[in-house]
């Protein structure tokens, strides 16, 4: 007989329902990671996140290259305000003032990906995503 009542609790049948990784959680994670990439210049992520991260980072640089108010507002909807470097420069300001001018003459391909191997705990493939020099 199946357990009735509260869900996601331990009982005779174990955990009945596991909290899913929803699209909103995925979007929040990508926003955090792309902000970290902009502020720190490189970030280690699993191989499953890499494709979405590179795509979103390229879109942010394209918005930064436009440089107008509308592009700044679109980028601000994605980037996190609380993530800043040691000097207190936010990810949005760093994108528009430092990163986008560096790639003004380049048409795409702003990031590079290095495979680092398997993570020790869960054997997940880890990659290093960096800006192209």
Q: What is the pLDDT of residues 75-108, one digit of tens each?
A: 999 999 888 888 999 999 999 999 999 999 999 9
Please say whether the beta carbons of 39 and 91 come within 8 A.
yes
Domain segments of the chain as ranges: 23-131
pLDDT tens, 104-116? 999 999 999 999 9
pLDDT at residue 21, rounded to an integer: 76
Q: How far apart are CA 28 and CA 34, in angstroms?
A: 10
Which bin fits 128, alpha (ψ -120 to 50), beta or left (φ > 0)?
Answer: beta
Angle between helix axes 47-66 and 23-40 (nearest 10 degrees) is 60
Judge whether residue 11 has pLDDT over 70. no
Long-range contacts of 89-98 (CB under 8 A, 24+ apart): 89/39, 91/35, 91/38, 91/39, 94/38, 94/39, 95/38, 95/60, 95/61, 95/63, 95/64, 96/64, 96/67, 96/72
What's the pTM value of the predicted model, to 2 decimals? 0.82
CATH 3.20.20.140 fits 23-131, yes or no: no
pLDDT at residue 14, rounded to an integer: 61
């Amino acid at each position: 007989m199946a357990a009735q009542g509260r869900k996601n609790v331990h009982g005779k049948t174990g955990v009945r329902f596991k909290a899913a990784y929803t699209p909103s959680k995925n979007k929040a994670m990508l926003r955090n990671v792309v902000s970290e990439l902009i502020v720190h210049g490189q970030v280690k992520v699993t191989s499953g996140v890499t494709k979405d991260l590179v795509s979103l980072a390229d879109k942010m640089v394209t918005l930064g290259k436009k440089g107008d108010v509308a592009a700044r507002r679109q980028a601000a909807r994605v980037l996190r305000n609380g993530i800043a470097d040691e000097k207190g420069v936010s990810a949005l300001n760093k994108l528009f003032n430092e990163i986008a001018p560096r790639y003004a003459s380049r048409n795409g391909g702003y990031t590079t990906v290095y495979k680092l191997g398997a993570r020790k705990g869960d054997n997940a493939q880890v990659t290093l995503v960096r800006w192209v020099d």
